[in-house]
Amino acid sequence: MPRMSESRENTIVTAARLLQRQGYAATGLTQILEESGAPKGSFYFHFPGGKEQLGAEAVALAGSEMNAIIGAVLARHADPAKAVVALGKTWSSWLAGSDYTEGCPITTVALEQSSQSSILRQACAVVFGSWHRQLRDHFVAAGHAPVRAGALARLVLCSFEGAFVIARSERSTASFSETARLLAEVVAVGV
Amino acid sequence: MPRMSESRENTIVTAARLLQRQGYAATGLTQILEESGAPKGSFYFHFPGGKEQLGAEAVALAGSEMNAIIGAVLARHADPAKAVVALGKTWSSWLAGSDYTEGCPITTVALEQSSQSSILRQACAVVFGSWHRQLRDHFVAAGHAPVRAGALARLVLCSFEGAFVIARSERSTASFSETARLLAEVVAVGV
Amino acid sequence: MPRMSESRENTIVTAARLLQRQGYAATGLTQILEESGAPKGSFYFHFPGGKEQLGAEAVALAGSEMNAIIGAVLARHADPAKAVVALGKTWSSWLAGSDYTEGCPITTVALEQSSQSSILRQACAVVFGSWHRQLRDHFVAAGHAPVRAGALARLVLCSFEGAFVIARSERSTASFSETARLLAEVVAVGV
Amino acid sequence: MPRMSESRENTIVTAARLLQRQGYAATGLTQILEESGAPKGSFYFHFPGGKEQLGAEAVALAGSEMNAIIGAVLARHADPAKAVVALGKTWSSWLAGSDYTEGCPITTVALEQSSQSSILRQACAVVFGSWHRQLRDHFVAAGHAPVRAGALARLVLCSFEGAFVIARSERSTASFSETARLLAEVVAVGV
DNA sequence: ACTATCGGGACCTCCCGTTGTT
DNA sequence: AACAACGGGAGGTCCCGATAGT
């Protein structure tokens, strides 16, 4: 990662937080700049690609932060079943702790923009891919065959993505707890 | 459902289609009105609650249409495992057929607006609830214990929701096929 | 006055009240109709001249109501000095009692519209003329020479009009009390 | 007063002129921008508080211009009686010269908005206060006792305010001439 | 790398008046 | 007299991007 000015970094961090809560279209450049305290005049110097570039960098940042968190949880639970339950608990307590305002940091952007901006769509796809790879590698390390591990990782990823959506809508963590319990059965190693 | 004018109905149908592709914030009232051919002057006559009310009605419409489709698929497959696979095929062929522009009709709205409009959040929650209930009842009818049927229905719902997100982002139906195959294992009745 | 339907009358009364507080431009036809409970469909049957006609009739109504009040106060105080003080007290207690929202019922319309609608301008002029005449006749009856009585009536009218403006703006009745006391000196009969 | 761009200044000047003739609600931002030649895109840069802020600044500008005029007239007439007559002549010739379109520059706004915008209400109250203070100080300098000078200033202010209203409505300067003559009697010093 | 502007268009909302029908 | 629906435009606000100057 290249060294970057504080203004530039602040802008990306603020953008990531706002995109998570409001999505891309509903988040104005003005709001991002105001909340980040970054000056308006140099925005297009830092981000020649405009709002779209900022969005893509914010998605990448949020994706790598989440990657770190997934990695930390997996590191504490070699057993896939326990790891899956731990992930569910981590995310559901986040969600409830933010009064259901902070779900998956990139899903909203992914959905809104996958038909409108290929830059943002690809940025999201890269992030999803990195999360998937991490889960798959963990399952392989735990003894699953590579192909099955890939499918299991995908199921886990999809389920939790969906759980975020429904949990926010229902304002309830039931989706996470029920989903995690069943996922634990599926990803268990051996018979 | 009350009788309603053609204009009003057209507006809702068009809104539902656009919300599915672009989300709420990115869809302008002007665009909806133009594409639906509905007159501008009577919009607030038909929808005193403005864009929010229209959004809520569009969500409800999309939800009930999807409900009918789920019902039709389930009616053709009494076996939960086969039903789940059929659902996955239905949706993944939709998605690919629309060049990955038409995913779940309400997820985007649910995510964008669950922290901003309680009217839209609730409209989405009602729809998710109706889909869940239908799946659960099918699993109960197939022999699952009610509590487990509920959890299975939730897992299926969350997984497919997430599969829609990731499939659109990756422009690939892999999420659907891999997810559906594993879900079929979990929802299978007996051993 | 011709017999008129209840709807029609309600509309005028409601319009008069709203014009007093908000003025003509800021008061929407929709608001008038909603608050009066009158049906929208027959508005242009009752008022072929539209909003302008309604405004003119509301001005006339408010004017004649005020005329009655002026008449009542004058009837209790033959002495012009006492009459003027009593008028000041009446109006200042109205104003304070409505939390400074209800001043002279027609001044706002008169000012906004005197350069825009000659119908409304004239309606207001007629009302001002009727108030002036009543004051002048009272002063004549109290012994003032007709010409001087006319000038005194005009001074009183202008002063109280201005007092309404400034009192609303300052949210204070000081304008009324100070003005009335000095006016009482001027209109006193004899030497 | 801070240095300001020409666009910003033009906007305020134009707004002041239009508010004087049409009032606040009847004057559209579009009209102000068009007539002032100011660019639309930077309006919210110059006036973050929107139309309300512009209105308040226009009121303040009009108020201080009027203050200068009052000051000039008073400076030419040490005798209160003569000063009052001169003020009446100044204003009535203005009014007639503009074909009764330009009265007191802030009264209309004061009336319309005193129940709707406390920002505008206060801006008007400040202006009225400054006018009153100037008249009162002049009367004190001419020999009136301070308390009486304050009351006289108020009477003069209210009377001329009211004269503006009625003169515009009647399209006649009679209110000014008759009112000024009587006011001159009241404010005369000594016996 | 930042300031102060500008450009032009889109946002949702609401306006007043007018249909045709009952 | 009242209904449901329409027509077209204007309301104030805010958008993202660009510019000239320093």
Per-residue pLDDT, C68: 98
Distance from residue A14's CA to nucleotide E2's C1', rounded to whole Å: 20
Q: Which CA-bearing residue is nearest the C1' of E11?
A: B28
Residues of chain C with C-beta less than 8 angstroms from the C-beta of D62? none
Interface test with D, best of C128, C148, C169 (most D CBs within 10 A): C169
Q: How far apart are CA A129 and CA B92, in angstroms?
A: 19
Structure confidence at residue B1 as a pLDDT band (50, 70, 90): very low
Contact assignment for A179 to B154 by CB distance below 8 Å:
yes
Rounded to the nearest integer, the mean pLDDT of chain D is: 95
Q: Is the dihedral of CA C38, C44, C46, C48 positive or negative?
A: positive
Closest residue in chain D to residue C126, using alpha carbons only: D170
Which nucleotides of chain F are near protein (any atom < 7 Å from a CB)? 1-21
Radius of gyration of chain B (CA): 18
Alpha helices in chain B (DSSP H): 6-22, 29-36, 43-46, 50-76, 80-97, 107-113, 118-141, 146-170, 174-187
Q: What is the mean pLDDT of chain A?
A: 95
| CA nearest to D139, candidates D154, D125, D126, D127 | D154
Residue A191 reports pLDDT greater than 70: no
Q: Which residues in chain A have Cβ-Cβ distances shorter than 8 Å to B135?
A: none
What is the mean pLDDT of the segment spanning A156-179? 98
More confident of the two residues D190 and C160: C160
d(CA A66, CA C64): 74
Q: Which nucleotide is nearest to B49 (CA to C1')?
A: E13
Say how far residue D16 (Cα) sits from the centre of its chain.
10
For B88-97, what is the mean pLDDT?
97
pLDDT digits (tens, 9 = 90+) for D137-177: 999 999 999 999 999 999 999 999 999 999 999 999 999 99
Distance in Å from E12's C1' to B43's CA comes to 11
- Residues A37-80: tens digit of each pLDDT: 999 888 999 999 999 999 999 999 999 999 999 999 999 999 99
C115 touches strand E (CB under 7 A): no
Whether the Cβ atoms of residue D38 and residue D10 lie closer than 8 Å to each other: yes
Give yes or no for residue B168 having a pLDDT over 80: yes
**pTM given for the model:** 0.92
- Tokens for B66, please give them: 């999807």
**DSSP label at residue D49:** T
What does the pLDDT read at residue D21? 95
Question: Which chains would you list as touching D if contact means 3+ CB atom pairs under 8 Å?
Answer: C
pLDDT over threshold 90, residue C140: yes
Closest to D188 in 3D by CA, of D33, D44, D82: D82
pLDDT at C1 over 50: no
Report whether C52 contacts C46 (CB < 8 A). no
Using alpha carbons, list the distances in angstroms from residue A155 to A81, A163, B106, C185, D178.
Answer: 13, 12, 21, 93, 91
Residue C144 in contact with residue C80, Cβ under 8 Å? yes
Tell which residue, A158, A149, A147, has the closest CA to residue A187: A149
The residue among A102, A152, A158, A164 with the most chain B CBs within 10 A of its CB, best to mutate, is A158
Strand E: positions under 7 A of a protein C-beta atom = 1-20
Euclidean distance between CA atoms C89 and B190, whole angstroms? 90
Contact C110 D179 (CB under 8 A): no
pLDDT of D191 reads: 54
